[in-house]
């Protein structure tokens, strides 16, 4: 049987920007429609690949590998190959492994979306120890909470089977970049159903979902704090959050927001964050009367 051959040209520089998320979204749509094909990912012009975006690439690989397709990576340069070998990406697909000498990769990992502690252990034992800068206990706590909230959002709103993650710690500028992806219900679907409004666009739906108090949780439940908590944290941190869901793109960098719609639809949700880890801001409002060993009463 002649196999259909498709080549997907990976961009020259794969960075955390709209253009590359648009590329990934188009690529996942391409591969999901292929059967019995040989799919080549051509890296011959690619000089840079942001490590955290390995998570998105991994999703494309997994989707593309269905329907009896065969996949191949062509001309991956040494630098990118090293990233893939160190961050568990190549290991996952049986392509080899290198030791992470600088111990700065936050491994590409696919989590089951069941209620299990694996992600919490991964954050505590894999991600936080990679950050080689002194952090306040308060910052560490808030950062961990933000990551946990992202994961729980993917589980509960995405209603997906698997959640893909990957990250990277950059010691030179004291930043962490981290990506969480699910292929479940999109924010657009959830918000349109909840608001009973089929006219809301994908970027408007994401924007709605990021506002404190807005939640698509069922009647009898309360919510709408998780994403706004992350927004507040990153705003003060001068960090960045990007959310891609269906054809919506939404980003906030410090206090500056941008949103638009893409040509293609991502069949799930990507949340990408960039955090400055050399952060000594105060995030928790202190109460002078608080004592850790005292029973707390009358707070309701």
Residues that bind other proteins in the complex, under the rule CB under 8 A: 115, 117, 120-121, 124, 138, 141-142, 144-145, 148-149, 151-153, 155-156, 194-197, 208, 211-214, 217, 219-226, 229, 284-287, 290, 292-293, 295-300
Nearer to other proteins, 104 or 269 (CB): 269
Locate 181 and state its tokens.
């992806």
Cβ distance 171 to 133 under 8 Å? yes
Nearer to other proteins, 114 or 263 (CB): 114
Q: 């000594």: which residue's tokens?
A: 280
Nearer to other proteins, 2 or 285 (CB): 285
**Least distance (Å) between residue 176 CB and other proteins:** 17
Distance CA 104, CA 115 (A): 28
Locate 241 and state its tokens.
């959050």
Cβ distance 138 to 282 under 8 Å? yes
Nearer to other proteins, 72 or 211 (CB): 211
**Least distance (Å) between residue 120 CB and other proteins:** 4
Nearer to other proteins, 108 or 233 (CB): 233
Nearer to other proteins, 100 or 149 (CB): 149
**Least distance (Å) between residue 105 CB and other proteins:** 23
* CA torsion, ordered 107, 110, 116, 117, to nearest 10 deg: 0
**Least distance (Å) between residue 254 CB and other proteins:** 22
**Least distance (Å) between residue 204 CB and other proteins:** 11
Q: 């290198």: which residue's tokens?
A: 98
DSSP string of 78-99, one letter each residue: HHHHHHHHHTTHHHHTTS----
Residues near 274 by beta carbon (within 8 Å), at least 6 away in sequence: 16, 175, 176, 177, 239, 240, 241
**Least distance (Å) between residue 270 CB and other proteins:** 19
Residues near 63 by beta carbon (within 8 Å), at least 6 away in sequence: 28, 31, 32, 183
């Amino acid at each position: 049987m002649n196999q259909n051959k498709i080549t997907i040209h990976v961009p020259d520089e794969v960075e955390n920007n709209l253009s590359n998320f648009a590329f990934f979204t188009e690529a996942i749509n391409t591969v999901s429609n292929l059967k019995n094909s040989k799919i080549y990912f051509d890296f011959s012009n690619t000089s840079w690949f942001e490590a955290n975006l390995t998570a998105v690439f991994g999703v494309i690989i997994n989707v593309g590998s269905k329907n009896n397709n065969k996949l191949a990576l062509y001309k991956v340069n040494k630098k990118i190959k090293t990233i893939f070998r160190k961050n568990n990406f190549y290991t996952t697909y049986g392509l080899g492994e290198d030791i992470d000498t600088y111990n700065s990769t936050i491994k590409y990992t696919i989590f089951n979306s069941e209620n299990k502690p694996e992600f919490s252990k991964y954050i505590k034992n894999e991600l936080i120890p990679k950050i080689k800068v002194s952090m306040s206990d308060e910052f560490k706590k808030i950062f961990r909470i933000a990551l946990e909230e992202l994961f729980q959002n993917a589980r509960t709103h995405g209603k997906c089977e698997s959640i893909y993650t990957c990250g990277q710690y950059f010691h030179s500028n004291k930043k962490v970049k981290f990506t969480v992806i699910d292929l479940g219900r999109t924010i657009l679907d959830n918000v349109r159903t909840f608001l009973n409004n089929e006219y809301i666009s994908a970027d408007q739906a994401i924007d709605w979902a990021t506002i404190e108090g807005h939640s698509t949780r069922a009647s009898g439940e309360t919510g709408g704090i998780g994403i706004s908590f992350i927004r507040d944290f990153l705003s003060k941190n001068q960090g960045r959050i990007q959310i891609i869901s269906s054809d919506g793109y939404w980003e906030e960098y410090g206090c500056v927001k941008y949103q638009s719609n893409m040509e293609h639809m991502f069949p799930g949700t990507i949340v990408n964050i960039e955090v400055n880890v050399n952060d000594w801001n105060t995030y928790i409002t202190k109460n002078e009367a608080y004592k850790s060993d005292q029973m707390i009463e009358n707070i309701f």
